[in-house]
Amino acid sequence: MSDALSNTKTATKIDALVVGAGVAGLYQLYQLRNMGLTVKALDTASNVGGTWYWNRYPGAKFDSEAYIYQYLFDEALYKNWSWSSRFPGQPEIERWMNYVADSLDLRKDILFKTTVISAHFDETTQRWLVETLAGQRFDVQYFVACGGMLSAPLENLFPGQDSFKGRLFHTARWPNEVIDFKGKRVGVIGIGATGIQVIQTIASEVDQLKVFIRTPQYVNPMANPSYGPAEVDAYKARFEELKATLPHTFSGFEYDFVHGPWKKMSVERRQEILEENWQHGALKMWLATCPEMFMDEEVSEEISEFVRQKMRDRLKDPHLCELLIPTDYGFGTHRVPLEHHYLEVYHRPNVEAISVRGNPITEIVPEGIKTADGTVYALDYVILATGFDAGSGALTRIDIRGREGRSLKEEWRKDIRTSLGLMIHGYPNLFTTGAPLAPSAALCNMTTCLQQQTEWIAECISNTRAKGVKVIEPGETFQNDWVEHHDGLANATLVVKTHSWYMGSNVEGKPRRLLSYIGGVGQYRQKCSEVTASNYAGFVLR
Ligand code: NA7
């Protein structure tokens, strides 16, 4: 333990500390406070929102239906908010998160502009000592990390970034100001869900847009109708139904696999289903066509080819098709972005798609982006839509030390292991949401899963306190069994063969493992409930 942390005299002593004031952190704070605990939430941001505070880049919006993304624990909270469309943009989502914080009177217990830098478990007191960047200290029984699955941006990727004469942005650290793109030469690196939203939004504004493409991306057009009073009333009337069904589907959305064995259906019927799901204009095509898409090479190829043809029909130009249509991995084996006229952007005369697959970006120079062949692309703005150190990054960017001084960062450098993504062996009373080995953002509608996880945590704390238990920690065997179960499911799928943040392969040196549980949201929930019902069998309670 550091000298600073060993000095507990100046530490604020409370029951629980929550990291993060996003979807998970807000609800976790609310629950723990309602249980009578003294609790504070800390956030680096200057306001609530988490993901929806940071990701204010042009075109940022939901890929989950708004009425599905809302919390379902409080009917009034749900019904007193109305969305303007099926997939609204970031400003509206940020307003909603502020509405939640105000409605639940959460602000009084949140410290903004406060970054947790370390959390050390003190074996003498059996409590966590948490320190912030500004030197504040907290002495807490429960350390609840709700820092987000996609919150540690990959910002410093290229040598020479500081030398760039123009402005350089990472999408997840977008400034809270209007950026004028008129007359600007802009380079975007990355075509994940984020890059696509940026590109389709700014293409018509900029003077020149250069898109640097390493891996082609399957896309699915978004249908985004506006909502008037009739539509709003209709989805609000489904509150009870949504509450009853969402937690039990494969992905926490309202749709699920319903068609039975894929190969038993006729080719015509399969095409009909694909067309229907395609026209649905949401993530249904990906998350509710058939489970075989994730397991069976033939089915994967059939569905991938359907999507490729849709893309060819729009792109037309063979060169663009070659650049932008994936051929070496299956549709849905990583996140499928929704888009709106994105492919058509490449037909604009001011837009150029540049493949950096065999000719990687080597550095950022004062004038712009330089590739391995020596070409310098002169730019005014560089936009890094380069993603995140997902799942583990929010936790390893904090110096977390468990029993016997073990370092989470060091341990996860070798192997990323958790128990249900909710706790970690060796780290008593550390609770996590959106962490590896739970469904999380990759394979779940985020709010469905975060509600379930924060409720499990609150119940665990309540149950153990009621029994006079001070400390709970998953046993090594429990954790090994969970990792084995998780890997068993993951390794039977095609997802583990595809490069992406899902596998941690977007971060150099990160151990490769499917970060999200692929057994389904319903099954995950059941397994968590079984642990609770068994009075935490396999966990050590002291
Ligand atoms: P993603 O999905 O991780 O996408 C990052 C993109 O950046 C992807 O196209 C990468 O190409 C590209 N990238 C990263 N590094 C480089 C370098 N060095 N050169 C060229 N291209 C690079 O992040 P997003 O922010 O779009 O989305 C993350 C999640 O947020 C998303 O899945 C949703 O759940 C919400 P690559 O594929 O690695 O070749």
Nearest CA to ligand 1 atom 12: 190
pLDDT in tens, 488-532: 999 999 999 999 999 999 999 999 999 999 999 999 999 999 999
CA distance 48 to 107: 8
Ligand 1 atom nearest residue 361's Cα: 19
Give the whole-angstrom CA distance, residue 177 versus residue 56: 9
Residue 515 CB–ligand 1 contact under 6 Å: no
- Residue 34 falls within a domain, yes or no? yes
What does the alpha-carbon distance between residue 423 and residue 460 come to, in Å, rounded to a whole number?
11
Give the Å distance between the CA of 441 and the centre of ligand 1: 15
Instruction: Confirm whether 114 is domain-assigned.
Output: yes
Q: Flag residues of the chain having pLDDT under 50.
A: 1-5
State how many domains the chain has: 1
CA 381 vs CA 190, 194, 357, 361: distances in Å = 14, 17, 22, 16
**Two structure tokens written together for 476:** 């090594």
Burial call 353-368: b when 16+ CB within 10 Å, e when fewer: bbbbeeeebbebbeeb
Is residue 99 classed exposed, middle or buried when 0-12, 13-18 and 19+ CB atoms within 10 A define those classes? middle
Residue 242: predicted pLDDT? 98
Q: How far apart are CA 179 and CA 21, in angstroms?
A: 26
Spell out where 158-226 has E strands. 167-170, 185-189, 208-213, 220-221
Asked if residue 251 has its Cβ within 6 Å of ligand 1, the reply is no
Cβ atoms of residues 129 and 138 within 8 Å: yes
Is 211 a pocket residue for ligand 1 (Cβ < 6 Å)? no
Dist. CA 59 → ligand 1 center (Å): 16
Report how far ligand 1's centroid is from the alpha carbon of 539 (Å).
Answer: 37
Residue at 210 is within a domain? no
* Burial of residue 525 (number of CB atoms within 10 Å: 0-12, 13-18, 19+): buried
- Beta bridge mates, 430: 143
Q: In whole angstroms, what separates CA 56 from the centre of its chain? A: 15
Distance CA 449, CA 430 (A): 18
Q: What is the CATH number of the domain that holds 450?
A: 3.50.50.60
CB atoms closer than 10 angstroms to residue 179: 16
Residue 54 CA, ligand 1 centroid: distance in Å: 17
As given in the structure block, the two tokens for residue 205 are 């504004």
Q: Ligand 1 in contact with 506 (CB < 6 A)?
A: yes
Residue with CA nearest ligand 1 atom 35: 193
CA-based nearest residue to 45, from 146, 164, 135 = 146
Contact 114, 40 (CB under 8 A): no
pLDDT tens across 214-253, in order?
A: 999 999 999 999 999 999 999 999 999 999 999 999 999 9
Q: Is the CB of 189 under 6 A from ligand 1?
A: yes
- Asked whether 458 and 31 are in contact (CB, 8 A), the reply is yes
Strands 116-122 and 127-132: antiparallel
Pairwise CA distance, residues 358 & 368, whole Å: 19
Kind plus residue range of the DSSP H or E element containing 314: helix 297-315
Q: Does residue 193 have its Cβ closer than 6 Å to ligand 1?
A: yes
Distance 191 CA to ligand 1 centre (A): 6
Task: Kindly report the three-state secondary structure assignment for every residue of 354-400.
Answer: EECCCCCEEEEECCEEEECCCCEEECCEEEECCCECCCCHHHHCCEE
- Token readout for 382 is 């560089």
pLDDT at site 440: 85
- For atom 37 of ligand 1, the residue with the nearest CA is 215
Q: Using CA positions, which residue lies closest to atom 10 of ligand 1? A: 190
- Per the structure, the complete domain to which residue 82 belongs is given by 3-152+389-469
What separation in Å is there between the alpha carbon of 413 and the centre of ligand 1?
21
Ligand 1 centre to CA of 386 (Å) is 4
For ligand 1, the distance from its centroid to the CA atom of residue 385, given in whole angstroms, is 6
Does any domain span residue 450? yes
DSSP assigned state of 276: H
Q: Is residue 307, in this structure, part of any structural domain at all?
A: no
Amino acid (1-letter code) at residue 142: Y
153 lines ligand 1 (CB under 6 A): no
Q: Whose C-alpha lies nearest to ligand 1, atom 38? A: 506
Q: How confident is the model at residue 8, as a pLDDT?
A: 52
Residue 510 has a pLDDT of 97
* CA 454-41-152 angle, 5° bins: 80
pTM to 2 decimal places:
0.97
Q: Which amino acid is at 173?
A: R
Q: How far apart are CA 353 and CA 501, in angstroms?
A: 23
For a ligand 1 pocket test, name from 506, 510, 512 the mutation site with the most ligand atoms within 8 angstroms of its C-beta. Answer: 506
CA distance 341 to 200: 7
